[in-house]
Amino acid sequence: MLKVMIVDDEPYILQGLQFLIDWNSEGFEIDALMSNGKDALEYLSGHKIDLIISDIQMPVMNGLDLLEEINRQNLSEAKFILLTGYDEFSYVQRAIRNNCMDYILKPVSKEDLLDILRRVANLNKEKEKDRLSQRSMEDAFLATNLMSIIKGKFDDTNIDYVTNHLQLTGGIRFVDIEMVTETGSDEEDDYDLRMLQKQMFLACKEILKENASHFIFDVSYDKDNYDVGFIYCENMATRRDMTEREFFEMFIKKLEVLFPKPVRIMCGKTVQDVASLSKSYSSCIRISSIIGFHMQKNLYFYEEDIQFGQSGIVLCKSSLDEVISSIQSNNEEAIRKAVSELYEEMNSTGANSHVIDLNINYLLFQLIHLASEQDDNINQEEVIQYISEKSFEDSFKRGSRQHMERFAIEYAEYLSGLRKNVSRGILASIEAEIRDHYAENISLRNLGEKYFINSSYLGQIFRKKYKQSFKDYLTTYRINEAARQLVNTNKKINQIAADVGYKDCDYFIRKFIETIGCTPSKYRKTHAMSKE
């Protein structure tokens, strides 16, 4: 509702204007009734008003003096309307010079008043649209500067802009807020997940309205990860008289109310200035790579869950090197033996969580380096994503030797695939599979099992060659086949949808529009006309 102030020294005018029209139905509410300009001026100093309707002739301070004083003090952005009689028309020029929007002749008619209100409402809508557009551009520019800093590619201009637009006090963390999805599922709809991601982003901003600009949409290195970045400052907790843990636990509880899916929050290490945010961001990636080797939870802190070098903790380097060597040679028997010896050595030190953390962290980062040695072109962040996917197992329990064995054996196969450079021949077979079975429920997981190749690596080499994911490639192939059938057959649209692998016709139409740019019906009609 737009707030209105009416200023007139005649009580019957004030009452008459209140009941002349239905203000609420026009989107307005009368917030204040004043009898002179001085009282109106005092009220404006503490209240936001959108429209002022004022008489000219009043005691203490008249309407024109009120208008001039508002402008002089820059007190309000409210639209100003004067009530005037015919004999006061000479005042109008002075009013217009002082940014008066318009005037209404007395006695006020319902039609004149409604006309004014609707013009004010339209102007306010345009103003709000411009404000939102400007805010959107500012938010996008802020996010661009933040992303440059987070990724470690920035200059003083980026630092200055972020420092001037964010409330950065004390220690700073990069925090990754991830929507937990079913890992490796090819059946999940990217469009729906993207909409959920936007919903999560808006929910985060709603929870911390005063720090809404600290959230960044879609920061992840992985296109299949639906997340929101958050620049946390320690004063966010201290001003609420909370610890950091209490702050994030509070945040998660509120997010659970506003957002339908589970989330996971990873708090990167604390840094002391915005220029070091890339280090905090990198520590979040490191947390992601070892999450599966910990008890599953919704809140992780770098210092608690991944930090190296706690006093009194022993690195079982000899046993770890044996595990790495057995993985490198892809010897399943040696892997099982080496993993068993590693856990025996860790158990001999007491096998507390810090011992497990330190040794597993060392192992995982050595394995990332090992993958890079096999293929110079491999993206280390993709390897990290592979490790994260493989470490999410419903059956996993903290410290599970069996899980470590299974992971090590699968990773050895992964490295073997890198060494063989299987991309030369396997992708031709994958193309043939799509041509022959595009309407069936095929996935990288199934194809990996059929051709005895790790599905995550298969996805990497597929994206490297085709510049898109397997899922996007399959969707495009299906939609192009549907387009061909639309032009060359008389089949109904729901039949074509089924023929190319879509059981849900509405979902098929949505994918067709995303890919082709129009509905199937319009495509058929347009191309049928072009053939005539």
pLDDT tens per residue across span 325-338: 898 888 999 999 99
Per-residue pLDDT at 314 exceeds 70: no
Fold of 2-125: Rossmann fold (3.40.50)
Per-residue pLDDT at 260 exceeds 70: yes
Cα–Cα distance, 300 to 206 (Å, whole number): 22
Q: Each residue of 107-137: pLDDT tens digit? A: 899 999 999 999 999 998 888 888 878 888 8
Cα–Cα distance, 365 to 306 (Å, whole number): 12
Cα–Cα distance, 342 to 351 (Å, whole number): 11
Averaged pLDDT for residues 418-422: 57
Q: Each residue of 350-384: pLDDT tens digit? A: 656 666 767 777 787 777 777 766 554 455 555 66
Angle at 370 between CA 302 and CA 311, to 5 degrees: 35
Write out the CATH class of domain 423-531: mainly alpha
Residues in the chain: 532
Q: Each residue of 127-170: pLDDT tens digit? A: 888 887 888 888 889 989 999 998 888 899 999 999 998 888 88
Of 231, 213, 235, nearest in space to 176 by CA? 231
Query: Between the CA of residue 361 and those of 31, 306, 316, what are the distances in Å?
Result: 62, 7, 12
At what angle are helices 423-437 and 455-466 packed, to 10 degrees? 90
Query: What's the confidence (pLDDT) of residue 138?
Result: 85
User: How much is the pTM?
Assistant: 0.52
pLDDT category of residue 52 using cuts at 50, 70 and 90: very high
Better-predicted residue by pLDDT, 241 or 420: 241
Give start and end residues of each alpha helix (H) in 239-352: 244-258, 277-290, 302-305, 317-329, 332-348
Of 242, 224, 74, 214, nearest in space to 146 by CA? 214
Domain coordinates of the chain in residue numbers?
A: 2-125, 166-293, 317-420, 423-531
CATH of domain 166-293: 3.30.70.270
Cα–Cα distance, 388 to 183 (Å, whole number): 9
Out of 79-88, 382-391, 513-522, the most confident range is 513-522
The CA-based dihedral angle spanning residues 196, 198, 201, 206, taken in that order and rounded to the nearest 10 degrees: -90
Q: Each residue of 13-51: pLDDT tens digit? A: 898 999 999 999 999 999 999 999 999 999 999 999 999
Sheet holding 215-217, edge to edge: 215-217, 227-233, 172-179, 263-267, 299-301
| Same fold: 2-125 with 423-531 | no
For residue 140, the tally of other CB atoms under 10 A from its CB is 11
